[in-house]
Amino acid sequence: MLHLRVVSPPEDTERALAVLRGQPGTAHLIVHAGAAVSPAGDLIEADVAREAADEVLEALCELGLDHSGAITLESLDTALSDSADRAEESAPGEGADAVVWQELLNRTGEESRLNVTFLTFLTIACLLASVGIVTDSPVTIVGAMVVGPEFGPLAAIAVGLVLRRWDLVRRAAVALALGFPVAMLVTAGVTVLTWFVGLLDVSAFRESHDVDFVYEVGWYSLIVALLAGAAGMLSMTSAKSAALVGVFISVTTVPAAGYAVVAAVVGEWSKAAQSFGQLAVNLVGIVVAAAVVLLLRRRRGASVTVRPLPEVEKSLW
């Protein structure tokens, strides 16, 4: 179940209540007349089955309540109520299969922003990857995969392509196009420093070791990227976030970037080129698979009403 809260101008309250009463997937309808202060109006609360949430949000947005008032939605971990059980049974479909498009758009829009936090996580992940490569430590490589924040912008690109939200595609592309070079430049500086102080053994790096899978690009690289992209988007659209951890440790985006940096620093240009190829294959594969999953989950003939995102320039920092 999801908890819905609507701030409605008094003249629109009855129409909003009619929307909620007409939806069998709603329960626990409450009205606080005049309770809202900013924006002023009535406060309406209800619990909505996840499979009915998209239709409810679309109807409320058609009333203009996202402009004249406010609409918020949050997940409920526990709902002990026969009314809630009946609402979930009455709503068409299954909650795990339902896509709340506005929720997905807001989530990917937030995670696609280029900001200090995104750059910091991506830089730390690349540094961890470089350490794992230099020390021949697969465990550290896995740690870099988990820390890397790149799936957010990749998912945002897929959502933007499916919904034709080019502002979202542009924002996410900017985050990736600027984030990876910054993280790789910092990693290159640290790698040069470790080489200078004697921590980087070039001869040992040039020998085969356990982390060679990072730069060895092939068909299985694409297959893994496609599977990870599909699993990641399924996780985001079904609110099963635990599966995202498996996605993070399946693809070698950040490790490939870290390997490319280390290889370039020591003059192994062939390995650096292969690492860049690995990075490109993973990025493209994740986006393609995620977009296909969204297209398959999108209801045929259904329109998706979504609010515009903030301007890209206002969200960079």
Regarding pTM above 0.85, the answer is no
Domain boundary among 98, 117, 148: 98
Whether residues 169 and 297 share a domain: the answer is: yes
What CATH number is associated with residue 18? Answer: 3.30.70.120
Instruction: State pLDDT tens for residues 132-190.
Output: 888 888 888 989 988 989 988 999 999 999 988 899 999 999 999 999 999 999 999 99
If asked whether residues 6 and 94 sit together in one domain, one would say yes
Q: How far is CA 54 from CA 8, 35, 89, 178, 312, in A?
A: 19, 26, 16, 34, 26
Task: Using the 3D structure, point to which of 59, 77, 98 is the last residue of a domain.
Answer: 98
Do 128 and 207 lie in one domain? The reply is yes
Same domain? For 89 and 158 the reply is: no
pLDDT-derived band at 279 (thresholds 50, 70, 90) equals very high
- What pLDDT score was predicted for residue 50? 83
Residue 122 and residue 78 share a domain: no
Compute the radius of gyration of the chain from its Cα atoms.
23
What is the residue range of 211's domain?
A: 102-315
What are 13-64's pLDDT values in tens digits? 999 999 999 888 899 999 999 998 988 999 999 999 888 888 898 899 999 9
Residue where one domain finishes, among candidates 33, 67, 98: 98
Q: What share of the chain is helix, strand, coil (3-state, %, to 5)?
A: 65, 10, 25
Query: Would you state the structure tokens that stand for residue 249, as one six-digit string?
Result: 């440790």
Q: How far is CA 223 from the centre of its chain?
A: 20
Confidence of residue 205 (pLDDT cuts 50, 70, 90): confident
Please tell me the total count of domains within the chain: 2
Alpha-carbon gap, residue 192 to 48, rounded angstroms: 56
Give CA–CA dist 295/260, Å, rounded.
34
Query: Are residues 54 and 114 both part of a single domain?
Result: no
Q: What is the pLDDT of residue 312?
A: 41
The whole-number pLDDT of residue 54 equals 83
| pLDDT at residue number 208 | 59
Cα-to-chain-centroid distance, residue 29: 31
CA atoms within 13 A on the CB side of 281: 22
Count the alpha carbons within 13 Å of 293 in the hemisphere toward its beta carbon.
25
Mean pLDDT along residues 95-115? 78
Per-residue pLDDT band for 301 (boundaries 50, 70, 90) equals very low
